[in-house]
Amino acid sequence: MAEALAFYTLSILILGLGVAVITTPKTVHSVVFLVLNFLCVAALYVVLQAEFLAVIQILVYAGGIVVLYLFVVMLVNLKRQPEEHQDPRRLAKVGLVLSGAVLVELAAIVVYSYGREPSSVSAPSPAFPVQGNIEELGWLLYTDYLIPFEVASVLLLVAMVGAIILARREL
C-alpha cells in the first residue's frame, strides 16, 4: 500500500516536473526542474529497492551532468530570440513524427503484455553467491552482462575522444 502510494506520488511529480521543464520560459528554471525531476526518479529507484542506482542517479545526473548544463546555460546568452527557420512548420512536423512513434510504442507494449501473467517485482531472484544490492549488481555486470558492460565503456571512451577532438581543433 505505502509502496503504491509512493510510486504514484512520485510518478505524478516526475511527469509534472517533466512538463514544467519544457514549458518554463526561463532556461535556468527548466534546468532546476530537471534536477528536481532527477531527484524524484532517484526516489523512485529507492522505492524499487535499487539504492545503488538511486545514489548513482543523483551523483552522476543531478550532481554532475546538470551542473554542466547550468554552466553552459549561464555562459551563453539565451535572451535573444531563436532565428526563424526556413520552414516555419518544421517543429510541428517533427512533433507529429515523434508523437506517432510514442503512440506506436505504447500500443506495442499494450498488445504485447495483453493476456500475459503479470510478473512480480519481488520474484525470487536467481541465487547469487554474494549478498547485498551493490554486490549483486557487480556480480551480474561482471558475469552475465560482461560484454554489454565492456561495449558501453568502449562507447563512452569513443565519445570522450570525439569530444576532445571536437573541442581542440589542432592537436
Question: Which residues contact other proteins by CB under 8 A?
Answer: 26, 28-29, 32, 35, 39, 51-52, 55-56, 58-59, 62-64, 67-68, 70-71, 74-78, 80, 132-134, 169-170
Instruction: Provide, rounded to whole angstroms, the least separation between the CB of residue 134 and other proteins.
Output: 6
Instruction: Provide, rounded to whole angstroms, the least separation between the CB of residue 168 and other proteins.
Output: 10
For residue 134, give every residue at least 6 positions away whose Cβ sits within 8 Å of its Cβ, in sequence order, or none: 52
Instruction: Provide, rounded to whole angstroms, the least separation between the CB of residue 90 and other proteins.
Output: 19
- In angstroms, the CA 104 to CA 98 distance is 10
* Cβ proximity to other proteins, 107 vs 134, nearer residue: 134
* Cβ proximity to other proteins, 15 vs 28, nearer residue: 28
Q: How far from each other are the two terminal CA atoms of the chain, in whole angstroms?
A: 59
Task: Enter the C-alpha cell of residue 16.
Answer: 509534472
* Cβ proximity to other proteins, 14 vs 30, nearer residue: 30
- In angstroms, the CA 78 to CA 70 distance is 12
CA 113 to chain CA centroid, Å, is 23
* Cβ proximity to other proteins, 14 vs 62, nearer residue: 62
- In angstroms, the CA 32 to CA 28 distance is 6
Instruction: Provide, rounded to whole angstroms, the least separation between the CB of residue 55 and other proteins.
Output: 4
* β strands within the chain, DSSP E: none
